[in-house]
Structure 1
Amino acid sequence: MRNLQIIGNVPQVRRESNFGEYAEEATIIEEQPKVKKENPHFLEANTLEVTMQHLKEDCITPVFAKDNELTIPHPAFIDTVYDAANTFFSGESIDKPDIRVSHVIKGRIPEAIHKPANQLLESDKTIYYERAAFSIDIPTIYETVEGNKLNLSIVGVRAYNQMNLYSKKVPELFRLAIGFKNQVCCNMCIFTDGYKDDLRVSNTSELYRSALELFNNYNPAKHLYLMQQLGNTSMSQHQFCQILGKMRLYQCLPSGYQKRLPRMLLTDTQINSVAKAYINDENFGSFGNDLNMWKFYNLLTGANKSSYIDSFLDRSLNATEMAVGINAALHGDTKYKWFID
């Protein structure tokens, strides 16, 4: 594996990571961070790009109905993780959060209760977003895989629909991940030890500590090593079509049969997107040729960008599981053999 390239000052906690098990000693290179691209987005679907100012100034904060206790608002979630990133990766260049929201919940102030909808002023309206996701890039920690530059990136997800706001205040659910973002397409690459899918906290102090714990436990060199290995294996067009067919068939299997197989979370629509991208994608398409597993992985993560916010990170991780598992199956492993038989 090539040297893990870390630009700028490396925080002390990073030096203590055991990268040597998977990679050679890191190379320190002085370079100015690149300007962040506006497009493409790390998440698409039905999401809307918003600013932190909009979330803080224009949106109300939901409460737990039975005791009127405030939830942790989206801006506090984002600010807390951003502060944790700046603490843990001290000395690195850290981009401002890229924020996506969906499922707006509309209301109105008490004084406007009796107004017809077509007479409401902007000052009469209240809104908040049921779901929010953000991505924070660290462009000075990067590696190149198969010609694609990958920046270290932190992603958080919050979905009020997965909580019971009609109850008393309880620990609130968040999802947080650290992994690499492919700068060619902004596809997120998530690995098991870089993801907390059931992070429950009662306040921002607990959230801050949990974020630091996640960053500390994540091994970027191991993650990079796994992704680099994908480029060493290719499948034929026939094998690719076989896998797509099995992925479509998976959704229709009897539940008992399905439970005996590794999980596969992509929807039929997303599988169709994988097929279209195989033919048309300018970066990862390979129509008529063999397809290496790195490109296959990016076809999966690209299709996942159409997921709703509340399922985005789970499917990001599952894309990694599928790519690594099928790669192993092509080398004789039996766990994902069903998908290639």
Structure 2
Amino acid sequence: MQHLKEDCITPVFAKDNELTIPHPAFIDTVYDAANTFFSGESIDKPDIRVSHIIKGRIPEAIHKPANQLLESDKTIYYERCAFIIQIPTIYETVNGNKLTLTIGGVRAYNHTNLYSKKGAERFKVFAGFTCKVCTNLCVSTDGFLSCLEVTNTKDLYRAVLEMFQSYQPAKHLHLMQTLGNSYLTEHQFCQLLGRMRLYQSLPQGYQKDIPRMLFTDTQINNVARAYINDENFGSLGSDLSMWEFFNLLTGACKNSYIDTFLDRAVNATEIATGINAALHGDTKYKWFID
């Protein structure tokens, strides 16, 4: 956080030179909202990740060759930023795994048109649970704002509080608990992976009749490898619980770019609960295991 505040510039909207909401302000706003809503709980400091560094230089160094630039001549900021804030005093054990309440957000400047006048900026925020044994992130749709557009931190603060109010952690925990009661046979699991691979190549008209699936071939391959090698959730040679399958999916999300991993984490919940329902006769996700 100190590096973001002291060493990084804040991008502006090009046509009117108005400031964007800097990454530290985004993080601080969500942190303040968490302290307000979860008053009395122990709240950890934000764990921050950044990527896609954007380099520049001060006006006085415009004519200097790159190899002669001093550190004081350079400017930087990061296009993408993600963070999580854990609340360790709110936790539950689900299917033998400790889950801790976690909130956080993602911001990517490439989703905002900086070449125009100041307008709404796009953020993603979430509330969910982290599986402590593997740090997999469990996010449900009611705890996720995929396209929060605001122009100032006051509106951001208000929107985050509203999300906290709408999120139902008890319902989310119950949903994950029920996943431990259903199982995929190895044949069904292989069938499911094959259908997930096939989904990517289906005509768009065909895809529209099937629930969305955001996992790429790379992530599906990671699921297959984890099924064999993961010491916590692998199940080679035996039936795979839907809780284990869910964690194979969330584990495969970890190699996603900062600005896409949250959407895939939510989609992992959708797929796991949908397949679980299909095992009990529901038809919505039946195509994946039929």
Asked if these proteins are the same fold (TM beyond 0.5), I'd say: yes
Equivalent position of 1:75 in the other structure: 24
Counterpart Cα distance in 2 of 1:340 and 1:155: 33
Residue in 2 aligned with 1:278?
Answer: 227
Matching residue's letter, 2:97: N
> Which whole-Å CA distance do the structure 1 matches of 2:183 and 2:74 have between them?
55
Q: How does 1:186-201 map to 2 (within 5 A)?
A: 186-201=135-150
Letter in 1 for 2:58: I
Equivalent residue for 2:6? 57
| 1:158 and 2:107 correspond | yes
Deviation (angstroms), 1:312 = 1.4
Q: Secondary structure at the match of 2:260?
A: helix
Q: Deviations over 1:64-118 (max 9, x none)?
A: 0011000000000000000110011011000000001111111111111112112
Local SS of the residue matching 1:94:
coil
Deviation of 1:55 after TM superposition, in Å, equals 0.4
Q: How far off is 1:119 after superposition?
A: 1.6
Q: Can you list the C-alpha shifts for 1:167-222, whole angstroms capped at 9, x where unaligned?
A: 11111111110011111111111111111111111111111111111111111000
Q: Calculate the TM-score normalised by the size of structure 1.
A: 0.84
Work out the CA distance in 2 between the residues paired with 1:115 and 1:153. 46
1:267 matched residue in structure 2: 216
Q: Which residue matches 2:264? A: 315
Aligned equivalent of 1:137: 86
Secondary structure of the 1:142 match is strand
How large is the Cα RMSD of the aligned pairs? 0.7
Q: 1:113 corresponds to which residue?
A: 62
Structure 2 unaligned spans of 5+: none
CA contact (8 A) 2:30 2:104 kept: no
SS at match of 1:193: strand
Equivalent position of 1:104 in the other structure: 53
Amino acid at match of 2:207: Q
Secondary structure of the residue aligned to 1:321 is helix
Normalised by the length of structure 2, the TM-score is: 0.99
Q: Which of 170, 176, 185 lines up with 2:134 in the alignment? A: 185
3-state SS, counterpart of residue 246 of structure 2 = helix
Which fold has the larger relative contact order, with Cα–Cα distance below 8 Å and residues 6 or more apart in sequence?
A: 1
Aligned to 1:305, the other structure's residue is in SS state: helix
Aligned to 1:215, the other structure's residue is in SS state helix
Aligned-partner Cα distance in 1 for 2:285–2:271: 8
Amino acid paired to 2:48: I
Q: Percent identity?
A: 77
Q: Distance in 2 between matches of 1:54 and 1:148?
A: 35
Cα distance in 1 between the residues matched to 2:243 and 2:7 = 42
Q: SS in structure 1 opposite 2:178? A: helix
Correspondence 1:243-262 to 2 at 5 A? 243-262=192-211
Equivalent residue number for residue 176 of structure 1: 125
Q: What SS does the aligned partner of 1:63 have?
A: coil
| Letter of the 1:252 counterpart | S
The structure 1 segments of at least 4 consecutive aligned residues displaced by more than 4 Å after TM superposition are: none
SS at match of 1:264: coil
Unaligned runs of 5+ in 1: 1-51
1:213 pairs, out of 142, 151, 162, with 162
Q: Deviations over 1:283-334 (max 9, x none)?
A: 1111111100000000000000111111111111100000000010011110
Look up the equivalent residue of 1:64 and give its one-letter code: F
The secondary structure found in structure 2 opposite 1:200 is: strand
**How many equivalent residue pairs?**
290
Give the counterpart letter for 1:111 in structure 2.
E
**Secondary structure of 2:222's aligned partner:** helix
Question: Is the CA contact 2:57–2:75 (under 8 Å) kept in the aligned structure 1?
Answer: yes
Instruction: Return the match for 1:222 from 161, 171, 182.
Output: 171
* CA distance in structure 2 between the partners assigned to 1:67 and 1:163 by the alignment: 15
Select 1:306's aligned residue among 250, 255, 258: 255
Trace 1:23-62 onto structure 2 (pairs within 5 A). 52-62=1-11
Kindly indicate whether the alpha-carbon contact (under 8 Å) linking 2:180 and 2:241 is maintained by their aligned counterparts in 1. Answer: yes
Displacement of 1:281 in angstroms is: 0.6
